[in-house]
Structure 1
Amino acid sequence: MSPSPLKPSRRQILSWAGALAAAAGTNPGYAAEPRRGGTLSLLLAAEPPTISAVAHTAYNTVIVAAKVQEGLLTYGFDLTPKPQLAVGWDVAEDGLSYVFKLRPGVKWHDGKDFTSADVAFSINALKSMHPRGRSTFANVSEIRTPDPHTVVLVLAKPAPYLLSAFAAAETPIVPKHIYENAGPVDANPANNAPIGTGPFVFKEWVRGSHILYEKNPAYWDAGKPYIDRLIVRIIPDAIARVTAIETGEIQLAPNSPIPLSDAERLKALPALAFETNSYQYTNTISRVEFNLDRPIFRDVRVRRAFAHAIDRKVIRDVVNYGYGKIIVGPVSASLTKFYVDDLKSYPFDLKAAEKLLDEAGYARGADGIRFRLTHDYVPSGDLYRRGADYIKQALAKIGVEVTVRTQDFPTYTKRVYTDRDFDFTFNGMSNLFDPTVGIQRLYWSKNFKPGVPFSNGSHYSNPEVDRLLEVASTEADPKKRYDEFAAFQRILAEDLPDFGVLSSGEFTVYSRNIDGHTVGADGVSGNLADVHFVK
């Protein structure tokens, strides 16, 4: 029998003591005291829809959110949990309770005390409003707060992935006193002017230009952050981004921010460096996703025809300049514990695509056109813009006339997930560290929630897929869990609500005069408390 979470065992006490010792020295091992002061400029390629991650998972939101609102834990490159707002944790042997001991003396940026009530409120909010939180915390049946510095999560069923889910960008802790009586969490004005516990205090958001943060003088990790000011620059134009990086106007640029045609040239510049580490928490893929509410895409033959007509090798080698690995399913090749490499695929074959469209009843007209569609690509990088142009050319060869629609990120998000005014899209999604957290949201019928971004955008529904996802979410045996996710992937290869294209080979570009920006699995999406100038 597991010990009561309110009466810790010796193992728990040792766990907490070890974590407290680790928390006392969080400096990642610099040879000398880092230089203090200065203003660092961080790049975003697109305007975020909001700057709190409590109800949003847009990549640009995730990058900025953790600077203000932190998580219970952070993670090493191997996904080993480390203290952040929690200094100790223990998981019961049966997997049905998680006890977190919270860091004492932490203040919100408005001076209020951070307590267990904030954690309980945040997790309940994430469970109801967050695109992934609905599945991440589905098995949490009760949250107990026996004292201001203890949180107990009681689970109805085990959640084998849960201890990996408490990073700031994934499970941000927000102030209960700001959100509790202010209407829906996802509509709270604080999402655009956040209050947190983090190393930086929000100051202003000038839309289309920048987000300004300043050093938190009362930060719980004494002596940090090292820089005085963080400016997040929003630069949608690719040429302008390259110029800003090359001239030193931008010192830190994550998520493959430049046209890949410029990558080799910039790698040769002595003032710049490239970092491929720190994307272990996200494992992003690119994919073509269909709106299954459109009558034309209810016929799987049309979806399969598209898969045959789009050459993934062209997207990798020409569109993406050789970066990334070709995939056919929903799982990133870098998520090796769950990746299946022999899924049914639809190799590039224009004749097969034409035959499928003929069988579906979409013959070519006198003008050679079978039907016309609008393609909305996610405006978050060169891959998707260039990919949209290629997809238009590829589908024209089988008689499908495509209009590519360009828009800003908030408009795209609203169109796809709220208005559902789209035919199909070329987008990127994070698998994250586990399929239950990063993948289930996209195919689970219970996660079709108009208005919730980056959820089940295709409106896919298959009872067997639902069953497999739900069983896998509580399966403790790694082999059985792999088999369940493999069966899920094989069904998707038949149903094809979307199809994978590439596992993205992401990188960060940074100036060599900074350090401390990549200290764990969340990299630049972490709180940046350790970033500093070196000269």
Structure 2
Amino acid sequence: MVSKGILGLGGAAFGLILTAGAALAEPARSGGTLTAIVQPEPVILTAALNTAAPTGVVSGTIFDGLVDYDRDLKPIPALATSWETAPDGLSLTFHLRPNVKWHDGQPFTAADVKWTLENVWTKIHPRNQVTFGKVTGVETPDPLTVILRLGQPSPAILSSLNSNGAQILPKHLYEGTDPLSNPYNNKPVGTGPFKFKEWSRGNHIVLERNPDYWDAGKPYLDRVVFRVLPDAAARAAALEKGEAQYAPLSPVPLKDAARLGGLPNLRVETTGYEWLSPWLFADFNVERGPLKDVRVRRALAQAIDRAALARVVWFNFGVPATSPVPSTLTDFHAKDTPAYPFDTKRAEALLDEAGWARGANGTRFSLEIDYIPYGDDFKRTAEFLKASLRRVGVEANIRSQDTPSYTRRIYGDRDFDIAITWFAAFSDPQVGVTRAYWSASVGKNIPWTNGSGYRNPEVDGLIAAVQGEADPAKRRALFRRFQEIVLTDLPTLPLLELKFFTVEAVGLRHGARGDQVYGSFRDFRFDGPAPGQSRASAN
């Protein structure tokens, strides 16, 4: 069962006026070009192999998943029209939609699902190696039926089957190749509402309408153009001038959100992120220098005022986090776990106890801080941490780099002390949280996994146990113990539960789904003539 309780991300607390105008209303108007902003530029265009947010935003409209999710995070049909779990929980059967074609005209079948699960999800994908860890076999009795055989029940699987969580690749284009270097990663062939047309690196990505899409009459748009605009001021200007009509994942500086939301041609939406439950955290490299000592990690945690971080840096588009399992996941979040309230005196005492006394210049030691290069908000987070640590005698140097360099440094070379990043927890912490603590991924250069280098056999055992536990009460107990241990050992410091927003044109309409940001653009359309379309041609 998909967990409920995901935060609706209401914007009233932030002084923004959000509208219900994004919901679909008939009659539909078709045609036109939607210009969206993606920042930073994706590394590749296939979310099956790279789970970074920019990749998901683009590829989610090229590919379909077996399911989509509604606002209550219940799965709804997509490439699978129906599914059922065996009474003993040891098999999961999907009935696929007939007459679906890949963009090159080849039929989509159960063989594509089987090949992707066996060769990508369980071997390469940073989340799905755990999510599908209890799958012992895949059967395809006919081209439209997929049966997953499970060694133990695995309820989290149904929480991660959309086009981002479990993207299906075309077997006929990937079989016999190295999936990580396959050229179709950057000229993807999917089953989704839009086909890949062009990628001008550093400039734009162009997608064109799929005329043979299985959802008859959709998509409404003729094309989608994703512009790459590294400069935040340029992104805001493009939205203000109507040169772009859609920009997800907090695309402008947070201080500008209220101003843009007050313009007559724009609105700021915080809905559509329910599936994500994003959390911001700092990875401590537990294999290096002073951070090997848990007392030092605890001291740094108490040196950081997370309430001030939320207020000053994130303009209250976030609340202080007390656990890696966000409070929005009410079925799993534990409240009575080890806590690290802001207390510089306690932080100083712990550092003294650990043997790191202040030197003649007042400094105890120095660290390197690397932040995910997704915008000024993450850079300012690094600057906030630097100032916080300086107060207790720890100097920090902030390093900037592009996304490939960042992921290689953190997840491959492990050449860092503190890394700032965010993960999506999703609707089940098995999908989005445990990957940050599972020891099997350490140092394998698999982005968005265990960056801290944390290894704890009991935690690994809990992660394995929760994969195969079907009883809701027992799963809650396992996750409670998981949180107790990782918050005691503190290889990562949860900082904030984030609230992302989208800036979009008032005349843009789209469907209401809980995974809108990573979902397809098949329901998007304009109230009146769309950009690039005359009023006479609108229908």
Q: Under a length normalisation based on structure 1, what TM-score does the superposition of the two structures give?
A: 0.92
Is the 1:294–1:423 Cα contact (8 Å) retained in structure 2? yes
Q: 1:114 aligns with which of 102, 108, 117?
A: 108
Q: 1:158 aligns with which of 147, 153, 156?
A: 153
The gaps in structure 1 that reach 5 residues or longer are 1-27
Q: Does 1:523 align with 2:516?
A: yes
- 2:221 and 2:504 map into 1 onto residues whose CA distance is 16
The alpha carbon displacement at 1:449 in A equals 5.0
Q: Which residue of 2 aligns with 1:168?
A: 163
1:342-366 Cα distance to aligned partner (Å, 9 max, x none): 3221111122212222222222222
Q: Does 1:189 align with 2:197?
A: no
Q: Which residue of 2 aligns with 1:86?
A: 80
Q: Does 1:465 align with 2:445?
A: no
- 2:268 and 2:304 map into 1 onto residues whose CA distance is 31
- 1:84 and 1:330 map into 2 onto residues whose CA distance is 31
- Three-state SS of the structure 2 residue aligned to 1:212 is strand
Task: Give the 5 Å matches for 1:369-384.
Answer: 369-384=363-378
Q: Which residue of 2 aligns with 1:9?
A: none
The letter for the 2-side match of 1:107 is K
- Three-state SS of the structure 2 residue aligned to 1:129 is coil
Q: 2:117 aligns with which of 117, 123, 128?
A: 123
1:85-105 Cα distance to aligned partner (Å, 9 max, x none): 111211111111111111111
The alpha carbon displacement at 1:529 in A equals 0.5
Q: 2:479 aligns with which of 478, 482, 485?
A: 485
- 1:306 and 1:187 map into 2 onto residues whose CA distance is 40
The alpha carbon displacement at 1:420 in A equals 1.6
Is the 2:284–2:417 Cα contact (8 Å) retained in structure 1? yes
Is the 1:325–1:333 Cα contact (8 Å) retained in structure 2? no
Q: Does 1:325 align with 2:316?
A: no
Q: Which residue of 1 aligns with 2:306?
A: 312
| RMSD of aligned Cα (Å) | 1.5
The letter for the 2-side match of 1:501 is L
Is the 2:102–2:190 Cα contact (8 Å) retained in structure 1? yes
- 1:252 and 1:521 map into 2 onto residues whose CA distance is 17
Is the 1:134–1:447 Cα contact (8 Å) retained in structure 2? no
The alpha carbon displacement at 1:45 in A equals 2.1
Is the 2:24–2:509 Cα contact (8 Å) retained in structure 1? no
After TM superposition, where is structure 1 displaced by more than 6 Å over at least 4 residues in a row?
A: none
Q: Which residue of 2 aligns with 1:344?
A: 338
- 1:29 and 1:500 map into 2 onto residues whose CA distance is 34
The alpha carbon displacement at 1:377 in A equals 0.6
The letter for the 2-side match of 1:59 is A
- Three-state SS of the structure 2 residue aligned to 1:398 is coil
Q: Which residue of 1 aligns with 2:63?
A: 69
The alpha carbon displacement at 1:36 in A equals 1.0
The letter for the 1-side match of 2:240 is E
Task: Give the 5 Å matches for 1:178-327.
Answer: 178-183=173-178, 185-327=179-321
Measured at CA, do residues 158 and 449 of structure 1 come closer, stay the same or move farther in structure 2, by a change above 3 Å?
A: farther
- Three-state SS of the structure 2 residue aligned to 1:376 is strand
The alpha carbon displacement at 1:446 in A equals 2.2
Q: Does 1:138 align with 2:126?
A: no
1:123-175 Cα distance to aligned partner (Å, 9 max, x none): 11211100001001000100011111111111111001212221011101110
Task: Give the 5 Å matches for 1:329-478.
Answer: 329-478=323-472
The gaps in structure 2 that reach 5 residues or longer are 1-21, 529-539
1:400-440 Cα distance to aligned partner (Å, 9 max, x none): 11111111222211221122221111111110110111111
The letter for the 1-side match of 2:175 is E
Is the 2:307–2:319 Cα contact (8 Å) retained in structure 1? no
Measured at CA, do residues 357 and 31 of structure 1 come closer, stay the same or move farther in structure 2, by a change above 3 Å?
A: closer
- 2:173 and 2:167 map into 1 onto residues whose CA distance is 14
- 1:112 and 1:144 map into 2 onto residues whose CA distance is 21
The letter for the 2-side match of 1:432 is F
| Higher relative contact order structure (alpha carbons within 8 Å, sequence separation ≥ 6) | 2
- 1:358 and 1:243 map into 2 onto residues whose CA distance is 50
- 1:133 and 1:364 map into 2 onto residues whose CA distance is 45
Deviates more, 1:487-496 or 1:468-477: 468-477
- 2:113 and 2:47 map into 1 onto residues whose CA distance is 15
- Three-state SS of the structure 2 residue aligned to 1:114 is coil
- 2:260 and 2:55 map into 1 onto residues whose CA distance is 26
1:30-59 Cα distance to aligned partner (Å, 9 max, x none): 442311111101112212121101121111
Q: Which residue of 2 aligns with 1:533?
A: 526
Q: How many residues align?
A: 506
Q: Under a length normalisation based on structure 2, what TM-score does the superposition of the two structures give?
A: 0.91
The alpha carbon displacement at 1:381 in A equals 3.4
